[in-house]
Structure 1
Amino acid sequence: MNNLHACCLLRKRNMLIVRSFTILLLSCIAFKLACCFSSSISSLKALPLVGHLEFEDVHPASKDFGNRYQLLPLAVLHPKSVSDVASVIRHIWMMGPHSQLTVAARGRGHSLQGQAQTRNGIVIRMESLQHQKLKVHGVGAPAPFVDVSGGELWINILHETLKYGLAPKSWTDYLHLTVGGTLSNAGISGQAFRHGPQISNVHQLEVVTGKGEILNCSERQNSDLFHGVLGGLGQFGIITRARIALEPAPTMLYVNNGQVKWMRVLYLDFAAFARDQERLISSDDDKFDYIEGFVIINRTGLLDSWRLSFTPEDPIEASQFKSDGRNLYCLEVAKYFNNEDKKDVMNQEVKKSLFELSYISSTLFSTEVTYEEFLDRVHVSEMKLRSKGQWEVPHPWLNLLVPRSRVNEFAKGVFGNILTDTSNGPVIVYPVNKSKWDNRSSAVTPEEEEIFYLVAILTSAVPGSTGLDGVDQIVKRNQRILEFSEAAGLGLKQYLPHYTTRHEWRSHFGPKWDDFVRRKSRYDPFAMLAPGQRIFDKASLVSPHSS
């Protein structure tokens, strides 16, 4: 017993020694980090900037639209010129590879998984560069364009270019986002089938690399950086300026009428719905200028309340149509009118185009709005949700690119089995043509398919709920969708991707992975930029997360 008691005492003593050593080690690390951060703050404060670094009020930069991740930065840069951005990055670059500081460019903070955040690093508030004036060039010329700040909002670009009768060719559904933010991903909407994503409509960029270099790039100048940055998830540089392609905007026909005829029709069969969408995007006669669609799952209501209703001109039979609990598939199309177009002729052409489709004949919704109202349609819904306190909630969204050859299988497995309700957000589904995407960019699409589908499951969670509408259950459901797709070998890709291991990122980029790593090593060798994407680790030079 005495020996046993002695052994127990010895074990306890050893445990106390180990515990004390661990506490001491952690304290030393914490003290060292505190000293490093204190030194970093002092050196950063000494930088000569036109704008300023904020070290106190940094909490707003620790959140994003996803409302699931919160990483508190060391400071927030409010730049007034591109030289401010370059100075801060160059300063951190000069600290060397052992500096723990990272840099995240933040536009409207519309990321979903903390991609625009950094813990104890520097967040750059890109909207502070908005004061740089928009400049429209080539009015009346065959190829007009606009030069804009990377922190400019697309809605502001629309307002300014419309003054000249022009507008960008490609959009996202939501215009209150920054240019740099969407170009770092792709920028997709219902015009992408014709013009490609926003990254396919850029002539030139100004980029600040991870070394603090300010470089202009285009097809002919620094082309490797140009293609890498487009769809590059912010990994190779921060977009501070962009030259965007423009086209003539539709003009007002009559005083009381709009420039856009906006229509929706319903289907009960997904295959017919997809077949008609593909027919429309493959047509050579420009039947419509915008083509999207969405899914209504197990709902008796007709339209998804998240989007603008067509109440003023809803036909009675359409407004009374019931789904009887079956899935509905809504095709959404728009036709732009110009002054030279005769309205009655255009309406006849639209009617003919719709007649060729196989939708439920009693479910045609139609209205006319201005071009600006149509493009900014989601903002109307945002204002409604904000007024109800339903905008700043968790958004565990899932965005996927599904190959055409497997989309019916995906629909059967996901819309038929995994998704059971879509009352807390839309499920958007529409095809795009791969030929409109530049494969030299970093953006990833399904391989070897001319047509693929965007499937955006945009569910909002109820804060604090532990039920099916709670964030944890929605995340689990999203994971089920990914696991089903993986098991079925559907070959889909995530849009706005989120992974945590090297194996997952390598699989996502596929043949583009080696180029992605090479560009990271060349333009951001200390892995300083966009740490919230969780692709590369700052701990060593260009070291992807281990699997």
Structure 2
Amino acid sequence: MELSMAYPLLRAKPFSSFLIVVSLIASFGQLKSWPDALPQELLTLDIAEKIFPDSNATTLASTDFGNLTQARPAAVLYPSSSHDIAALVRFSYSSSRPFPISPRGHGHSIWGQAFAPEGIVVEMAALGHGGAGRINVTPAYVDAGGEQLWIDVLHATLEHGLAPRSWTDYLYLTVGGTLSNAGISGQVFRHGPQIANVYELDVITGKGEAMTCSKNSNSDLFHAVLGGLGQFGIITRARIALQPAPKMARWVRLMYTDVGLFTRDQERVISRDPDKLFALNYLEGSLLVDNSLIGSWRSSSFFSRADIDRISGLAARSGIRALYCLEGAVYYNEATKADMDQGLRLLLEELNFVPGFAFMQDISYLHFLDRVHDGELKLRSAGMWDVPHPWLNIFLPKSRILDFDLGVFKGILKNNKAMGPVLIYPMNKTKWDDEMSAVIPDEEVFYTVGLLRSALEGDLDYLESQNNEILRFCDQEGIVVKQYLPHYTTRGDWMKHFGPKWNKFLKMKMKYDPKALLSPGQKIFTFLEKNRLYG
């Protein structure tokens, strides 16, 4: 789901990435001009040879996964170490002509959140040449560079029989990128988001200070950065909690025609105490409207063609437009398989899915966690990956999920033909740390709804209009939602988003990035406000 944020240039194999960097460095001497937006004094720094204002570099840093907007930076920094990043930020902070700076991970932002118009984008993949050299595994935790992909962290920890506890659905995202948002997936109800599973961070603040922080040391910075949308510092290392890794996963999908039964069963699953009762390790869910998702399942290895035909027939026989799919997984090893079989059987007997519409598959733990990548490869081969992605991700309180279903799923989206999943699943507020910057609804159980749709055949305007209609509906009906991977353009909207956290958020900004240099693409603090903040 995370859907969450940021680097296509160096996403290739480490050696290929290294060659790209070397090629760029070699071309530095051929540059004929220095951008007016940047001070000439930058050329006197030791890092000057790693700053590239040529169009090859800046073009790559001017787009992202969303393909919804563009903004060209003045130059791109390819750092060899975190010291290079600190030197750049210190220079901007002390300069009479400060300029904005934004770290770029995998370029997976939607609305240009990693852009730095007329400033410098830091290509984080250049650290360690984008490989696994900056991943250090211990029995209790893994230290990973902020530029590292979660898939590389997974491979490195599995070599030691260990793995992080909380994930995103898509693993080709950077550690620093997801921790700057929250990092959510089907494990959140048990282990909290990724930001709740971090012990320590190395951060470069908006003053260019390199600081180590944790709950016990520089705790205000630690809590601010986690979920802080890149506003207080650039994450260069994260210490992430580990647990023993299972070998296998039993992947389960259950079909529902009644949203009330669907949501009650989801809430039943996340309420089970795993220390007392058998419980799932992963829970998500999805909406199927007019066979929009069923069609994409036809190329899936999970369902047989006969299964797909039966599911399609279920909707037709029921005379409904919407089906709901509860998706779960249980992790196990050979020694625990018998107990897992029995526990899952008893749990399924408690649930109220349509009889005969439970589908299961046993796959490796690695394959389960990396399941979305298979879909990416198929979309890339069909030329359907690099298209606009007008995604909308929101959190909404449990008390209004049925109202949302009636007005949105059965109303605004009743004729949805767009490609891409619509996710819906609950989380427990107790698994989130309210000291952190991430914002969630004020109810003990809340739902995430992710409309992860792709714009094909000229339907971008329609999908964006539909997203706005959904937000207007929530506002008119008094459904207080919080955007995840938020996109706002005015100070008032950001203040409303953060609510009671806004004053603290502003205070931390003034303390750690008082000139608003970092991550201007979020549009929380307008950079050209005489380079200072206002309340």
Superposed, 1:464-475 pairs within 5 Å as 465=458, 470-475=459-464
* CA drift at 1:364: 1.3
**Paired position in structure 1 for 2:14:** none
- Distance in 1 between the 2:384 and 2:444 partners? 38
CA offsets per residue over residues 411-438 of structure 1, 9 Å max, x none? 1100011012154111000001000000
Cα distance, 1:36–1:304 mapped onto 2, change above 3 Å:
closer
1:205-253 Cα offsets, whole Å, 9 max, x none, are 00000110000000111100000000000000000110000000003xx
Q: What pairs with 1:273-288 in structure 2 (closer than 5 Å)?
A: 273-284=262-273, 285-288=277-280
Are residues 1:86 and 2:78 paired?
no
Conserved 8 A contact 1:232-1:442: yes
Q: Aligned to 1:431, what secondary structure does the other structure show?
A: strand
- Contact 1:77 1:125 survives alignment (8 Å): yes
Instruction: Find the partner of 1:44 among 42, 45, 48.
Output: 42
Partner of 1:109: 107
The match for 2:282 is 290
Q: Distance in 2 between matches of 1:316 and 1:336?
A: 25
Q: 2:216 aligns with which of 198, 217, 220?
A: 220
Which of 391, 402, 413 is 2:407 aligned to?
A: 413
Map 1:349-388 onto structure 2 (within 5 A). 349-388=343-382
What secondary structure sits across from 1:491 in the alignment?
Answer: coil
| Cα distance change on mapping 1:389 and 1:317 into 2, 3 Å | closer
Distance 1:136 1:307, change over 3 A: farther
Give the equivalent residue in structure 2 for 1:169. 165
Runs of 4+ deviating beyond 6 Å: none
Report the counterpart of residue 128 of structure 1 in structure 2: 126
Q: TM-score, normalized by length of structure 1?
A: 0.86
1:422–1:332 Cα change, 3 Å: farther
Match of 1:10 in 2: none
Distance (whole Å) between structure 2 residues aligned to residue 413 and residue 236 of structure 1: 38
Aligned partner of residue 105 in structure 1, secondary structure: strand
Instruction: Flag structure 2 segments of 5+ consecutive residues without an equivalent.
Output: 1-32
Task: Give the structure 2 partner of residue 455 of structure 1.
Answer: 449
Q: Which residue of 2 aligns with 1:12?
A: none
Answer 1 or 2: higher relative contact order, Cα 8 Å, separation at least 6.
2
Q: Figure out how many residues of one structure are paired with residues of the other and give that number.
A: 490
Q: Write out per-residue CA displacement over residues 500-539 of structure 1, whole angstroms, 9 at most, x where no aligned residue.
A: 1111111100000000111111110111100000010112
8 Å Cα contact 1:288/1:335 also seen in 2: yes
- Partner-residue secondary structure (3-state), 1:336: strand
Q: Distance in 1 between matches of 2:298 and 2:100?
A: 37
Structure 1 partner of 2:249:
260
Cα separation, 1, equivalents of 2:228 and 2:387:
28
Residue type at the aligned position of 2:60: P
Secondary structure at 1:340 match in 2: helix
Are the counterparts in 2 of residues 207 and 238 from structure 1 also a CA contact under 8 Å?
yes
Kept in 2: contact 1:537–1:544 (CA 8 A)? no
Q: 1:208 to 1:407 in 2, by over 3 A?
A: same
1:7 corresponds to: none
CA 1:51/1:135 → structure 2, altered by over 3 Å: closer, same or farther? farther
Distance 1:301 1:440, change over 3 A: closer
Report Cα offsets for 1:324-365 as digits up to 9, x if no partner: 252000000101012321x33321221111111000112111
Contact 2:252-2:358 at 8 Å conserved across structures: yes
Instruction: Note if 1:543 corresponds to 2:533.
Output: yes
**SS at structure 1 position matched to 2:228:** coil
In 2 relative to 1, CA 291–41 (structure 1 residues): closer, same or farther, beyond 3 Å?
Answer: same
Is residue 2:183 matched to residue 1:187? yes
Closer/same/farther in 2, CA of residues 193 and 300 from structure 1, 3 Å limit: closer
Partner residue, 2:388: 394
Structure 1 residue corresponding to 2:242, chosen from 234, 241, 246? 246
RMSD: 2.0
Q: 1:232 aligns with which of 228, 231, 246?
A: 228
Alignment equivalent of 2:522, drawn from 533, 538, 542? 533
Aligned partner of 2:338 among 333, 337, 344: 344
Q: 1:477 pairs with 455, 466, 470, which one?
A: 466
Q: Which amino acid aligns with 2:99?
A: L
CA distance in 2, matches of 1:385, 1:65: 14
Write the distance in 2 (CA, Å) between the matches of 1:544 and 1:461. 38
Aligned match for 1:445, one of 440, 445, 452 = 440
**What amino acid is the match of 1:240?**
T
Deviation at residue 320 of structure 1 after TM alignment: 6.4
Give the aligned partner of residue 20 of structure 2: none
* TM-fit CA distance, 1:49: 2.8
The match for 2:428 is 433
Task: State the shift of 1:47 in Å.
Answer: 1.5
Distance 1:39 1:304, change over 3 A: closer
Q: Secondary structure at the match of 2:394?
A: strand
- How far, CA to CA, are the matches of 2:374 and 2:314 in structure 1? 26
